Amino acid sequence: MKKIILLVIFFVSQFTILFAQTDTVISITKKSYRIPMRDGVRLFTIALYPANYTKQVPILIERTPYGTDLPIQEDSSLSIDKLPSYYSILLKEGYILVFQDMRGKFKSEGSFEMNRPLYHLTDKTRTDESTDAWDTVDWLIKNTTNNNGKAGIFGISYPGYLALDAVVDPHPALKASSPQASPADMFLGDDFHHNGAFRLSYGFEYSYLVENAKEANSFFPFPKYDLFDWYLKLGPLKNVNEKYFNNKLPAWNDFAKHPDYDAFWKKQSALTSIHTTQIPTLHVGGYYDQEDLNGPQIMYAQLEKKDSFNRNYIVLGPWNHGQWASAKADSLGKIDFESKTAIWYQALQKQWFDYWLKGMGDGKFAEANCFQTGTNTWKTYSSWPPKNTEIKKLYANANHTAGFAKPSSSKASVSYVSDPATPVPYRSLPIEATYGPGSRWESWHVEDQRFVSSRPDVVSFTADSLKEDMTITGKITAHLFASTTATDADFVVKLIDMYPDIDSKNKLMSGYQLPVAMEVFRGRFRKSFERPAPLTPNKPEEFIIDLHDINHTFLKGHHLMIQVQSTWFPIIDRNPQQYVSNIFEAKESDFIKAIHTIYCNSQYPTYIELPVMKE
DSSP summary character for residue 284 = E
- Which residue positions in the chain have pLDDT lower than 70? 1-22
Rounding to the nearest 10 degrees, give the CA dihedral for residues 95, 101, 102, 107.
-150
pLDDT in tens, 364-400: 999 999 999 999 999 999 999 999 999 999 999 999 9
Residue 494: what residue type? K
Cα–Cα distance, 329 to 342 (Å, whole number): 5
For 217-256, letters b (16+ CB in 10 Å) and e give beebeeeeeebbebbeebbbbbebbeeebeeebebbbbbb
Task: Give the pLDDT of residue 11.
Answer: 34
Q: Regarding beta strands 331-332 and 335-336, do their DSSP bridges make them parallel or antiparallel, or are they unpaired?
A: antiparallel
Residue 218 in contact with residue 204, Cβ under 8 Å?
no
Task: Give the pLDDT of residue 72.
Answer: 87
Residue whose C-alpha is closest to residue 548's, from 284, 329, 191, 294: 294
SS (H, E, C) 491-515: EEEEEEEECCCCCCCCHHHCCCEEE
Domains of the chain: 6-185+269-381 (3.40.50.1820), 193-266 (1.10.3020.10), 389-613 (2.60.120.260)
Residue 590: what residue type? D
388 backbone dihedrals φ, ψ, rounded to 5° = -90, 60
Residue 278: what residue type? Q
Task: Give the pLDDT of residue 2.
Answer: 52
Cα–Cα distance, 32 to 417 (Å, whole number): 59
Task: Give the pLDDT of residue 71.
Answer: 87
Cα–Cα distance, 255 to 198 (Å, whole number): 9
Residue 277 in contact with residue 312, Cβ under 8 Å?
yes
Give the 3-state secondary structure of residue 484.
strand
Cα–Cα distance, 93 to 148 (Å, whole number): 14
If you count DSSP H runs as helices and E runs as strands, how many of each does the chain have, helices first? 12, 26
Task: Give the pLDDT of residue 274.
Answer: 97
